[in-house]
């Protein structure tokens, strides 16, 4: 075998970058397994090794170069079932979270920065806001209301607002389009109040028509309504 031209150069690495025997060594092992001078056990062992190399190559091709880098781990055996899973994966916690890396470099589910829908009505130096005043607009993007609503007013007084929503083709929203579920934002004899979206319809789509309607008012000339959303 010392003069056999098929013997790979000793300086050639046995494994390639993928961890598989390089082509010259694989062919050498196949030829070696057929040499008549080997014992039956030696030939069988080398043949089994050669078959295993072939299996590894075929499995590598089936995987298509899947890499478990960064936030992805790949588990399983080559040629068998492979499971790809996000590091620190859990059941999706809801629309107020995203999967990614936080400021500390930790991978996992992180809360989405809150956005909000803000509506302002009246004037701080004007007259009391007329009953049934309607302030309308269109949603600039998709929103999911989450957290709380906040209502400020001036001067000290009482005010209740209804929030209505309708699809773009059905605007303007009417009395039957309230999303508050009977839990309308209100300030009672004060300057501010807040509350949760209990009973509300919390999904707002891009281009939905929105209206804020003054249901009742006493002494208030100006208000700001903030609806937290993601």
Global pTM value:
0.55
Q: In this predicted structure, what is the pLDDT of residue 58?
A: 61
Instruction: Give tens-digit pLDDT for 98-150.
Output: 677 766 777 777 666 668 899 999 998 899 999 999 999 898 889 999 999 99
Report the alpha-carbon distance of residue 48 to residue 55 in Å, rounded: 10
As a CATH number, domain 115-229 is 2.60.120
Is the per-residue pLDDT at 187 higher than 90? yes
Residue from 91, 81, 83, 86 nearest 70 by CA: 86
Task: Spell out the domain ranges in the chain.
Answer: 1-64, 72-111, 115-229
Burial state string for 83-114 with b = 16 or more CB within 10 A and e = fewer than 16: eeeeeeeeeeeeebeebeeeeeeebebeeeee
Percent of the chain with pLDDT over 70: 63
For residues 36 and 78, the model is more confident at 36
Angle, helix 23-32 to helix 40-63, in steps of 10 degrees: 150
The rounded mean pLDDT for the chain is: 79
Tokens of 49: 């090794």
């Amino acid at each position: 075998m010392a003069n056999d031209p098929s013997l790979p150069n000793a300086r050639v690495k046995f494994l390639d970058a993928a961890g598989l025997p390089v082509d010259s060594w694989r062919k050498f092992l196949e030829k070696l397994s057929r040499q008549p001078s080997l014992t039956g056990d030696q030939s069988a062992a080398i043949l089994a090794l050669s078959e295993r190399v072939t299996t590894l190559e075929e499995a590598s091709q089936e995987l298509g170069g899947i890499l478990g880098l960064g936030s992805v781990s790949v588990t399983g055996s080559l040629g068998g079932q492979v499971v790809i899973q996000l590091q620190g994966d859990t059941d999706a916690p809801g629309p107020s979270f995203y999967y990614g890396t936080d400021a500390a470099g930790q991978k996992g589910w992180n809360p989405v920065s809150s956005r909000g829908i803000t509506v302002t009505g009246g004037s701080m130096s004007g007259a009391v806001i007329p009953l049934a005043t309607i302030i309308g607009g269109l949603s600039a993007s998709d929103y999911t209301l989450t957290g709380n609503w906040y209502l400020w007013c001036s001067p000290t007084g009482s005010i209740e607002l209804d929030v209505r929503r309708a699809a773009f083709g059905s605007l303007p929203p009417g009395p039957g389009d309230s999303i508050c579920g009977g839990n309308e934002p209100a300030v009672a004899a004060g300057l501010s109040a807040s509350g949760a979206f209990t009973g509300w319809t919390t999904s707002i789509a891009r281009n939905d028509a929105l209206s804020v309607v003054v249901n009742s008012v006493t002494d208030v000339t100006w208000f700001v309504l903030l609806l937290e959303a993601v």
